[in-house]
Amino acid sequence: MSNLGSVDRPLRVAIIGSGPSGFYAAAALFKLEIKVQVDMFDRLPTPYGLVRYGVAPDHPKIKNVIKVYEKDALMPGFAFFGNVNVGENISINELKRFYDAIIIATGAETDKKLGIEGEDLVGSHASTELVGWYNGHPDFQDLRFDFSHEVAVVIGQGNVAMDVCRILLKTVDELKNTDITQNALEVLASSKIREVHCYGRRGPVQAAFTPIEIREFGELTDCYPVINSEDLNVNESSLKELADPVRKKNFEILKELAKMSGEGKKRKLVLHFCKSPIEISGKGRVQGVMFEKNQLSGEPNAQKVRGTGVKESIECGIVFRSVGYQGVLVKGLPFEPNAGIIPNQKGRIMDFEQVFTGLYAVGWIKRGATGIIGTNKADSDESVHSLVEDLAHLIPCVEPSSEAVMQLLKSREVRVVSFADWKKIDAAEIERGKKLGKSREKFVRISGMLSAL
């Protein structure tokens, strides 16, 4: 009988990834009536993952959730191991020596592919790139976006697409006090983009955005929405799908937006429905996109999309593919490449019938890139519940010491960033922001973050 979770021998858990699902897992562990120690690893020196690098800079309220995560980060028994790349600096197998259980919370780090010709042309970008760039993610700072053409195309109608359209269409005044990077602000200030065309393969009732996000396009300073009212004449099945309150609200907002005039405004968002991209075209770089018109048919909530053979194309200078995120392989763990997730049952990592004892997944790497930030709470609770059910069967680690992990990383010349270190980086960023009249000015290079220490 193991004594894991006792005062003498707390349960030791490593969480890999410090985004929302990682923090909700930590919170669920600290709520247990056993003694736990949680070490949270992140390959970047900064915590909060998607909240810092995914949430749009002009949506600061969504970032308030950080205050909740910080409470758990300050709990006795919590340590942040920032700037540690699990898989490079230390392997999952090595971590097993120091932890009784490991929770993978690495999210969905890459974009889904469209699989059409021209997808890789210069000027065709995944939305993940633009989002990472304007949010100051160190991986995306060397990218260059050509905003010298008046027309941009965004493929996909989820909330990420809405973020991208909005950032491209807002004025500098609407962005300048946010935590968008100064470099992104300056580049966007000289952007020539005046029209963003956003394409959905299904109809207005099935669009993946949510009401708050679509409503904003009626409230922008210098941009108006354009919706073809014929697109709002939807079929019988789609009308029945309006029983869903989110769809109903979206549809009502779209009808309002369709009535708006663009008088006095220089920029526009054009929403296109029932059109699938079939080719991104251009000589050496993006010059246009070809779409095929679709028809929806079938029972409500099970309608199929069928190409009609009717094609149309649009000239543009840049394309953002915004068709969803997916997870990437974590070295040493099973992976389902099509879904971009780690195979699991209620969070227990498994490969076919084989359960990986003591290994769990949470968040987007567990279920795919769906839902809002809060969705991850119930998801992480479920995985922690599985861990608790397994407690008696966990194999106690042989060296239950965070100090030993630190020593090992030091011997490998890894500069581990603690939570106290992060708070120094945080304070320095807020200070840098004050000088620019912004909520913060992020360090966009790891070297800059470390130099603040």
Least distance to ligand NAP from the beta carbon of 181, Å? 18
| Residue 6 DSSP code | S
Element (H, E) at 78: strand 78-82
Least distance to ligand NAP from the beta carbon of 162, Å? 7
Give 271 or 449: the residue with its C-beta nearer to ligand NAP. 271
Q: Where are the beta strands (DSSP E) in 228-342?
A: 267-272, 275-281, 288-297, 304-315, 318-321, 325-326
CA nearest neighbour of 104 among 334, 382, 366, 379: 366
Is residue 304 exposed (0-12), middle (13-18) or buried (19+ Cβ within 10 Å)? exposed
Give 24 or 325: the residue with its C-beta nearer to ligand NAP. 325
Give 89 or 159: the residue with its C-beta nearer to ligand NAP. 159
DSSP for 231-244 reads: GG---HHHHHHTTS
Measured distance CA(432)–CA(435) in Å, rounded? 6
Least distance to ligand NAP from the beta carbon of 116, Å? 8
Terminal Cα-to-Cα distance of the chain (whole angstroms)? 45
Least distance to ligand NAP from the beta carbon of 292, Å? 11
Give 189 or 328: the residue with its C-beta nearer to ligand NAP. 328
Give 138 or 324: the residue with its C-beta nearer to ligand NAP. 324
Q: Note the Cα 211 to chain centre separation in Å.
A: 19
Give 138 or 200: the residue with its C-beta nearer to ligand NAP. 200
Where does this chain bind ligand NAP (CB under 6 A)?
114, 155-161, 163, 200-202, 206, 208, 213, 276, 322-325, 369-372
Give 163 or 421: the residue with its C-beta nearer to ligand NAP. 163
Contact call for residues 390 and 13 (beta carbons, < 8 A): no
Least distance to ligand NAP from the beta carbon of 333, Å? 23
Q: Tokens for 184?
A: 């992104």
Give 191 or 376: the residue with its C-beta nearer to ligand NAP. 376
Give 74 or 372: the residue with its C-beta nearer to ligand NAP. 372
Give 4 or 296: the residue with its C-beta nearer to ligand NAP. 296
Element (H, E) at 358: strand 354-361
CA nearest neighbour of 224 among 185, 186, 268, 284: 268
Least distance to ligand NAP from the beta carbon of 356, Å? 27
Q: Which residue is nearest to ligand NAP (CB)?
A: 158
Least distance to ligand NAP from the beta carbon of 364, Å? 8
Least distance to ligand NAP from the beta carbon of 357, Å? 31
Contact call for residues 347 and 386 (beta carbons, < 8 A): yes
**CA dist list (Å): 393 to 6, 99, 100:** 15, 14, 10
Least distance to ligand NAP from the beta carbon of 271, Å? 11
Residues in Cβ contact with 282 at an 8 Å cutoff, skipping those fewer than 6 apart: 118, 121, 123, 288
Q: Tokens for 81?
A: 């191991």
Residues in Cβ contact with 449 at an 8 Å cutoff, skipping those fewer than 6 apart: 45, 46, 417, 425, 443
Least distance to ligand NAP from the beta carbon of 362, Å? 16
